[in-house]
Structure formats: C-alpha cells, structure tokens
Chain A
Amino acid sequence: VRSHGLNVKPTIIDNFENRAKRDTSDLDITFHYYPGCVGNNRVPANRSSGAYIFRPNATSPKQLNPLTTENFNGVLVDEKRVVYDQKVLSVRRHYKELEFIENEWLVGPIDISDDVGKEFAVRYQSDILNNGEFYTDSNGRQVLKRKLNQRPQWNVTLAEPIAGNYYPVTNEIYIENGDKRLTVLTDRSQGGTSLQEGQVELMLHRRLLHDDAFGVGEALNETANGEGLVVRGRHRIFTTKDEVLLRKNILQLHQQPIVFVSEAHIPYDQWL
C-alpha cells in the first residue's frame, strides 16, 4: 500500500496501521443474523421478537459465508467488495485523502421462505483488549461506558445475554485500551454492543414475522414490493483518539453536504 501522507493507512482490510504511532491493528469484518424468537405474547416472558424488542432465539448468531470478493483500486479510492449469502454486500473502502475506512453495507431483501424472522448484524473484530467495556453515545447527548453483563447501579443476572447487552447507538460506538481505540460511526441510529473482546457489533436490518404485543399490532415485515426492504448504509471506522476529529466526523456523516444534480444546457466555457 502506497503512502499518502495520512495518519491512518489501511492495508485493505485485514489490518490497519496508525502510522503516527507505528502500530498495526487487526480488523476483521463479518456479517451474521439472529433468528427471531417466536412467542405466544400471552405473558411478557413469551413475547416474540418484533418492532419494539430485539429478542433473538439463539445465544450466538449464524455467520454468513462470503461468496465472492472483488478489488477495485484507483487514484482516489481503493475498494474491496465482498458478497455474502443471504443477500448481503459489504464494500470496504479507503479514500486516499480521507482518514477513515468506510464499510458500506447492503442487506436485503431478507429471505423468509423458511418462515424464520431474521435480524442482521455486522461485527468488527479487532485485537484491542477492552475487558468487556465499550462506549455508546446512547441518545446522542453523552457517551456512556457500558460493561458486558453488568449494570452500574445494581447486581444483574441477564436472562437474555444478547439483547440485554445491546444499547442504543445514535452516532458512535467504540472500544479502547490504552492508546488503542476502535470507533465506528453510524449514519443512522442503530443498536450496538461488544459481546466479545475486541469486538464492536451493530444491528443493520430486521425482518420479523410476528407482532411483539407492544401495541403496533403488526409484524415488522415490510413487503411494499412483495419481497421486503433493501437497506443500504455506511459505517466509518476510525482508530484515532482525537476527539475533535471524531466530533467533526460525526456531524459530517449526519449532515452530509447537500448535492444537487442538474443538466447543463450551457457549454463548459459559458459555465466557467
């Protein structure tokens, strides 16, 4: 990988290097889905996974298999595209003038031909030892420290170890240890967690076949086109601890430049 004068240089995409600190970290991106729980909704303990609640019917998700990989390299951006089964696409890219790695994901339409509702998540696995601690910005106002299987105010035993460790992520989720940090910025509010050491997990897309009895009265099964929705979004991955840079990038991702495209009825010289 050529040098481009930036502080972060990915060697797409199995590891990334903080050149300022001459430090390399591993990064692995994998996709998974949780099968949704089906209950009878008569008592709270028997609720289905639905629009209001995430309730997987498994303690570990099913990992998707990569089917094809393509690389595109050019003067501005290097991309690696991985197509997974279950209609999932991941485009990992690095713009040579920008200080982040972008993972553009596409999920759907989610296949429900097996009558199983599914909830898709992405996992970013690094070699950072975070001791079960991770940070989410919760409601977008304040970054809060989360600890796996713990609550700060009382002793807790989680009956649902996956959902019980999921927290709202409005803009950012990160793990850190000493000088090392892995931050993932989201382009929309998502659920996120860190279930294993060095890992950041974010929920991407859900399609469920049963109502969860919290009031909506419908399953989360959007079939406007008869097939379910396709969702496409982006995560931006940073290794920096520069809070100003991160803060700016959070706003930049949410308030992207507004783009207008218009036909030019005038030649270039006149436009100039």
Chain B
Amino acid sequence: KFVLNELKSAMGVMQHHDAITGTEKQHVTHDYERLLNQAIDDALLIARQAFNKVTQGDALKPPLFEYARCRLNESSCHASETSDQFIITVYNSLGWDLKEALRIPVVEGSYEVYAPNGQKIDSQLVPIPPLVLKIPTRHSSATHELVFIARLHALGIKSFYIKKIKKNKRDSHTHDYYNVGSN
C-alpha cells in the first residue's frame, strides 16, 4: 500500500496549477519528473506481483513475467525490442467494450500475434519515422512498430503473445508487410 500511496502523493503534487500548465521554473520541472518517475517505477511492483499472482495463483513463486517500463511516446521499449517472444497485457479502465490500435516498438522482422484464445490475429509492421529515430534523448534499438487491434472488454484485461518468427517477411501469413511510396 505504501508504494501506491507514493504514486497517489506524486499525482497530488501534479495537480498544482504550475505542473499542469508548465509555468514552473525549470528546476521544479526536473523535480516533478523525478517524483513522478520514482513513483511510477515503485508502483509497477504492484502490477508485477498482481499479474504473477493471477497467472500462478501464488505470489511467492518465482515470477513468470518481468514487466518492463516502456516509453511508447518515443517508440521505445526494451522488452519488446530485445525479445524474440513477449507478452502484451492490456487493461481497459473504461466501462465499455472498445477497440484500440496498439503500436509496439520492435526491430525489423516477422512477427505473429496471438490473442488470448490462441487465435493468430492480423498485424502490420510499419517503420518508425526517421525524425523519431533521431530524437537525441531516445535510446532504443527499435526501428519499427508492430501494429494490431486489441478488442477489449469493459474493465477487462487481455494478454497477447507475440512471437518473432524466422521467416522471410514476404512469406508471413500475418500480413505484416508494408508498401512504401515516396515522393
């Protein structure tokens, strides 16, 4: 509970009008970033424990999954760009069913995406724009984004299994091709 309270406390600080509008001094900005970053890192502990408990029924067993902190806003995610198989777990916090496009940073290759029922679903690989790749503070090996549509239930959790396959891209049945036209 204390790590959750740490995140609640940080979010409380972020209600200040300077934090919302960006009218704080620069060193205060850095302090806000520090507070929030630390709180999010600590609160992920709860997500890790909870998910392993759900999947194994025993929180004390060694974890099956290690959650990675992703920076999807800069198309960067260590786990997905360095693993040949990984799991995307998605939680829909809204009270109705929805479809959402997920874009997962990966390195170029062929991938298969499996829904929770084991069915292989359509996915598409698109290159990350060069302007994003050149962002000076971005540290990532991801060159592409794997796109698929997640159909999520109200307040529901779903996991998708993603496998990198050693196949020629053109032979893939997951339609992960892209056509490029440029002028």
A binds B: yes
- B85 CB to nearest A CB, Å: 4
In the complex, whether B3 has a CB less than 8 A from a CB of chain A is no
- A131 CB to nearest B CB, Å: 31
A225 to B148, CA, bound (A): 33
Q: Which residues of A contact B168 (CB under 8 A)?
A: none
Contact residues, A220-272 vs B (CB, 8 A) = 220, 222, 224-225, 227, 230, 232, 248, 251-252, 255-268, 271-272
Of the candidate stretches A39-47, A55-63, A74-82, A141-149, the one touching chain B is A74-82
* Cβ-defined contact, A260 with B178, below 8 A: no
* Cβ-defined contact, A216 with B89, below 8 A: no
Interface flags, B98-117, vs A, CB<8A=1, else 0: 11111010000000001000
Q: Which residues of B contact A77 (CB under 8 A)?
A: 101, 124, 126, 147
Say which residue of B94, B122, B159, B175 sits within 8 Å of A255 (CB atoms): B94
* Cβ-defined contact, A260 with B89, below 8 A: yes
Say which residue of A72, A95, A222, A255 sits within 8 Å of B127 (CB atoms): A72
A260 to B68, CA, bound (A): 7
Interface size on A, residues (CB 8 A): 55
In the complex, whether B59 has a CB less than 8 A from a CB of chain A is no
Q: Which residues of B contact A257 (CB under 8 A)?
A: 90-93, 98, 100, 102, 150, 152
* Cβ-defined contact, A89 with B132, below 8 A: yes
A52 to B118, CA, bound (A): 53
* Cβ-defined contact, A272 with B64, below 8 A: no
Query: Which residue in chain B gives the minimum CB-CB distance to A262?
Result: B65
Contact residues, B53-76 vs A (CB, 8 A) = 64-68, 70, 72-74
Q: Which residues of A contact B129 (CB under 8 A)?
A: 81, 83, 89, 91, 106
Query: Which residue in chain B gives the minimum CB-CB distance to A233?
Result: B73
In the complex, whether B80 has a CB less than 8 A from a CB of chain A is yes
Q: Which residues of A contact B80 (CB under 8 A)?
A: 261
Contact residues, B152-183 vs A (CB, 8 A) = 152, 159, 161, 163, 175-183
Say which residue of A74, A87, A251, A260 sits within 8 Å of B175 (CB atoms): A74
Query: Which residue in chain B gives the minimum CB-CB distance to A52?
Result: B23
Q: Which residues of B contact A98 (CB under 8 A)?
A: 99, 101, 149
* Cβ-defined contact, B68 with A71, below 8 A: no
A91 to B91, CA, bound (A): 26
A230 to B73, CA, bound (A): 11
- B87 CB to nearest A CB, Å: 5
Of the candidates A52, A216, A259, the one having the most CB atoms from chain B within 10 angstroms of its own CB is A259
Say which residue of B29, B65, B70 sits within 8 Å of A222 (CB atoms): B29
In the complex, whether B2 has a CB less than 8 A from a CB of chain A is no
Q: Which residues of B contact A72 (CB under 8 A)?
A: 126-127, 178-180
Say which residue of A71, A252, A261 sits within 8 Å of B70 (CB atoms): A261
Of the candidates B23, B30, B86, B176, the one having the most CB atoms from chain A within 10 angstroms of its own CB is B23
Q: Which residues of A contact B101 (CB under 8 A)?
A: 76-77, 95, 98
Say which residue of A70, A218, A261, A265 sits within 8 Å of B25 (CB atoms): A218
Say which residue of A70, A83, A248, A263 sits within 8 Å of B96 (CB atoms): A248
Q: Which residues of A contact B83 (CB under 8 A)?
A: 263-264
Interface flags, B126-160, vs A, CB<8A=1, else 0: 11011110011100000000011110100000010
Say which residue of A73, A89, A227, A252 sits within 8 Å of B98 (CB atoms): A252
A171 to B175, CA, bound (A): 35
A91 to B161, CA, bound (A): 28
20 A-B pairs whose Cβ atoms sit less than 8 Å apart in the complex:
A72-B178, A73-B178, A73-B179, A76-B101, A77-B126, A189-B20, A216-B24, A217-B25, A252-B98, A255-B93, A257-B93, A257-B102, A259-B90, A261-B70, A261-B86, A262-B66, A263-B65, A263-B79, A264-B83, A272-B114
Q: Give the A-binding residues of B (Cβ under 8 A).
A: 18, 20-26, 29-30, 47, 51, 64-68, 70, 72-74, 77, 79-80, 83, 85-94, 96, 98-102, 104, 114, 118, 122-124, 126-127, 129-132, 135-137, 147-150, 152, 159, 161, 163, 175-183
Query: Assuming A74-B179, A259-B89, what are 20 further A-B pairs, CB within 8 angstroms?
Result: A70-B181, A72-B179, A83-B131, A87-B131, A189-B20, A216-B18, A216-B24, A224-B26, A230-B137, A232-B74, A248-B96, A257-B102, A258-B93, A260-B88, A260-B90, A261-B77, A261-B87, A262-B89, A263-B68, A271-B161
